[in-house]
Amino acid sequence: MESPRSEMMLIDGIWRNASDGGTVDVENPANRAVVATVPKATADDLAEALAAAERVRGSWSETNSWQRSAILRRAANNIRERLDEIALLLTEEQGKTLPEARGEVNSAAEQFDWYADEARRIYGRTVEGPLGSVRAEVRHEAIGPVAAFTPWNFPVMLAARKLAPALAAGCPIILKPAEEAPSACLAMVRAVADAGVPAGAIAAVTGDPAFVSATLLDSPIIRKVSMTGSVRVGQILMSLASKHMAAVSFELGGHAPVIVCDDVDVKAVAALAVRTKYRNAGQVCVAPTRFLVARSILDEFEAEFTRASAALALGDGMDGASEVGPLCSARRHDDFAALVEDAVSRGAVATTGGVSLREKLGGHFYAPTVLRDIPADARVLQEEPFGPVALLVAYDDLNEAVELANNTQFGLAGYVFTDDVSRAQLLSERLRVGMVGVNTFAIANAAVPFSGVGLSGMGAESGAEGIQMYLRPKTVVTGISETLH
């Protein structure tokens, strides 16, 4: 067996180990073998990253926006040139299939391409005031050093969603990759740093997440916190950020409803839903999860969905025949299995799946699962399952469907499938979510904001809105003489 890779972290332009030599193991979820170690950052390491960010804060924000744009464009090109290398690391540590990994890396490059343009479009405005003796303008300036925390389900793309707008705005950024799958993220950071980002303007630190977050957010240097992850962690980070009144933006959990109307092509919608539901083994915050289906077509939809789910090939993401990989970690597998077991114990029926394949396949695998007849008190209807399960629920009229769809504290994504334009319009307006897909599940790209309501978070990533999270307005009012001399 090959020895695990030894990764390094980036602090003040230098790739290095932890100051005390500490490391953390990283496993391959498909076979549970340790494949890498990463440094376990110390307080001294984090103090160096903070000091470097503060040192370059002024010079990086004052760098001409066209120069920042050029650096981001080179970063996008570097990522694409290293796509296969990064994708292999991603599949090895996160578990998703190689085609999915390549798609994620491409999406990361698109973030840098988009914000290379947005860097040159940080506009202010002039304001007509009440007095002729003053002139007022509003400028948008970099908010300052950023602490960014990213999860394991899309460890490359979600890091890019934070790195690209922060750097475009002129903010130094200290990134904490997910401890479960750090290597691909670190490889992406190297591609960005190699594009010409000055030392100190980008850092990537690894180690214990609670220690890293508490240490970084205890510093008044950090002026913005961006995190993608669980509601619980978001609440902890918000509390920590309040000490120095750092700005925050959070993309947290989801529990996406899918309203399937009685006028659709059932077979086509079910096939599309299955392809999307089990992407990344269901570990997607905007994954369709609660399928609210018109009662008149429920049996047909269930039959099509169940057949297609049962036919999916599970296996190591490195295997070209695999369609669904493992769950990312032992903890994720066990938490997910507990949700399914709770639902079944309360009377839910699994039309396929409902069983762990960990012992059979060797990794953290769980069979694609379809549940129906789910009792209202089942935890899976309220807690984000974040795994390969589809919940089928019948409705009798569209008002009931909307009520069921909005019956959680989450509000990230929602979907509507109908051939009736009036239904599509009204349902999209009444869903309490940040994003709606009508007759499509493809709702996320670099050009449009990604945001949620309720416990799904605050702020936005991607789109023109994303860079605003890293800027602060400054009003300048100048008194002038009203006559020319």
193 and 100 assigned to the same domain: yes
Contact 205, 114 (CB under 8 A): no
482 in a domain, yes or no?
no
Examine the domain organization and report whether 236 and 317 are in the same domain.
no
Query: Which is higher by pLDDT, 281 or 480?
Result: 281
Q: Confirm if 62 and 170 have CB atoms less than 8 A apart.
A: yes
- Percent of the chain clearing pLDDT 70 (strictly above): 100
Nearest-CA neighbor of 199 among 59, 28, 388? 59
Is 261 annotated as catalytic? Answer: no
In a domain, 402, yes or no: yes
Q: Does the pLDDT value for residue 353 go beyond 70?
A: yes
DSSP letter, residue 314: B
Residue 447 lies in a domain: no
Give 413-424 pLDDT, tens digit per residue.
999 999 999 999
Residue 446 forms part of a structural domain = no
Label residue 317 exposed, middle or buried (CB < 10 Å: 0-12, 13-18, 19+). buried
Check 251, 323, 384, 461 and give the catalytic one: 251
Does residue 132 carry a pLDDT above 90? no
* pLDDT tens digits, one per residue of 269-326: 999 999 999 999 999 999 999 999 999 999 999 999 999 999 999 999 999 999 999 9
pLDDT the model gives residue 485: 80
Q: What mean pLDDT is predicted for residues 427-447?
A: 97
The tally of domains found in the chain comes to: 2
| pLDDT tens digit sequence for 32-81 | 999 999 999 999 999 999 999 999 999 999 999 999 999 999 999 999 99
pLDDT score, position 257: 98
1 pLDDT more than 70: no
Is residue 7 scored above 60 in pLDDT?
Answer: yes
271 and 181 assigned to the same domain: no
Query: Are residues 172 and 272 both part of a single domain?
Result: no
Mean pLDDT (the chain) is: 97
Residue of 171, 261, 285, 328 with catalytic role: 285
Domain that holds residue 319: 256-409+413-438
233 in the same domain as 178: yes
Q: So what's the pLDDT on residue 131?
A: 86
Residue 337 falls within a domain, yes or no? yes
> Same structural domain for residues 218 and 261?
no
Q: Residue range 229-238: average pLDDT?
A: 95
Q: Looking at the domain assignment, is residue 445 inside a domain? A: no
Same domain? 322 vs 427: yes
CATH of the domain at 172: 3.40.605.10
Catalytic (active site) residue 251: yes
Strands 247-251 and 457-458: antiparallel
Q: Are residues 232 and 271 in the same domain?
A: no
DSSP one-letter string for 352-392:
E--SB-HHHHSSS-B--EEEES--TT-GGGTS---SSEEEE
CATH number of the domain to which 420 belongs: 3.40.309.10
299/356 same-domain check: yes
Instruction: Let me know whether 164 and 109 are in one domain.
Output: yes
What's the pLDDT at 482? 82
Q: For the chain, count helices (H), then strands (E).
A: 15, 21
One-letter amino acid at 427 equals L
Domain presence at residue 444 = no
Is 484 inside any structural domain? no
